[in-house]
Amino acid sequence: MLAERLKGVFVPVVAPFTPDRKLDAESFRNVVHAVLEQRVHGIVVNGTTGESPAVRWEEVRRMTEIALEVRGERSVPVIVGTGSNDTRTAVMLTKRARQLGADGALVVTPYYNRPSAAGVLEHYKRVGDAGLPIVAYHIPYRTGLELTPDDIAAVLELEAVAGIKESSGGIRHFIELGGRTEKALLCGDDLYFFAALCCGAAGGMLASAHVRTHRFVKTYESFAKGRWTEAKAAFDELVPLIRLLFAEPNPAPVKTALQLGGLIRSDAVRLPMTRTGEALRGKLEALLNGSKL
């Protein structure tokens, strides 16, 4: 059951590109291998951080195959982003992800067209019929669609929905949904990770966990063992890093940090995303070199 495995730190892996912006499959393999070695609890392919709006399905297929291959026998779920604001497309992509052997689909709320709550519910019902467990993804500042806690609770009641990634910019929904669902609530706002755990989150899908991965894992593991002070101390040390990684639009700074660390060959992103500016690159370099993390 995916719902029981939606715990801990999930890394929405970047889609590394060559300097001429072709998929760099070897760098992708390096990143998946590196985060799995640091005992993350799950991998997401084709999330926002994987530049899903600018990546073609053929590339998603290749990255999913690599993620599944590197995952091997580990019991770590591989979840693939299959969301669309067109229900038929989301269903089709979710079926394809199932055929590839993914463990679940990350399905963002339909963006831009602003459907009613009833439309959103029907969307998830249809996508759920594709036969792959779903993690719904609520991120109003990107989609233009804000769901109420009641709307989210209704989506979570669907059998196919294993959990939700909550990115509303705070902890309100974790508080509001606490006690109303057995399904997994995952934090998608890196800066609120520790606060969300305190309010009942089962874990987080966190772009910044590409960097200092072991410390994100330590935050979660310590928290899960009831060692809250230790968890808070581990997280506090990550805050300056998280701030820098989100100082410009994600995932450019994450890619720059990975390039500086030698895990990917280039920090190229596809337009309309733009490369990290020189000033931020310098700050990242200083933090990564000087940090005791």
Ligand X SMILES: O=C(O)C1=N[C@H](C(=O)O)C[C@H](O)C1
Binding residues for pyruvate: 49, 205
Please indicate whether residue 141 is annotated as part of the active site.
no
Q: Of 27, 30, 49, 82, which lies in the binding site for ligand X, with binding defined by CB under 6 A? A: 49
DSSP state of 23: B
Spell out, one character per residue from 96 to 135, where the chain touches ligand X: x when CB under 6 A holds, - when not: ----------------------------------------
62 burial via Cβ count (<10 Å: 0-12, 13-18, 19+):
middle
Residues 6+ apart with CB under 8 A from 246: 190, 191, 208, 253
Q: Of 188, 202, 253, 257, which lies in the binding site for ligand X, with binding defined by CB under 6 A? A: 188
* 18-38 residues labelled b (16+ CB within 10 A) or e (exposed): eeeeebbbebbbbbbebbbeb
* Residues in a beta bridge with 8: 203
Annotated catalytic residue, options 22, 112, 125, 137 = 137
Cα angle value 259/40/152 (rounded, 5°): 105
Stretch that binds ligand X, among 28-36, 82-90, 201-209, 270-278 (CB under 6 A): 201-209
1 burial via Cβ count (<10 Å: 0-12, 13-18, 19+):
exposed
Annotated catalytic residue, options 7, 165, 183, 255 = 165
Q: Write out the binding residues for ligand X, residues 215-234 only, by CB under 6 A.
A: none
Please indicate whether residue 137 is annotated as part of the active site.
yes
Residue closer to ligand X, measured from CB, 226 or 272: 272
Q: Supply the minimum distance, in Å, between the C-beta of residue 43 and ligand X.
A: 11
Known catalytic residues are 137, 165
Residues that bind ligand X (CB under 6 A): 12, 44, 47-49, 139, 142, 167, 188, 190, 205-207, 250
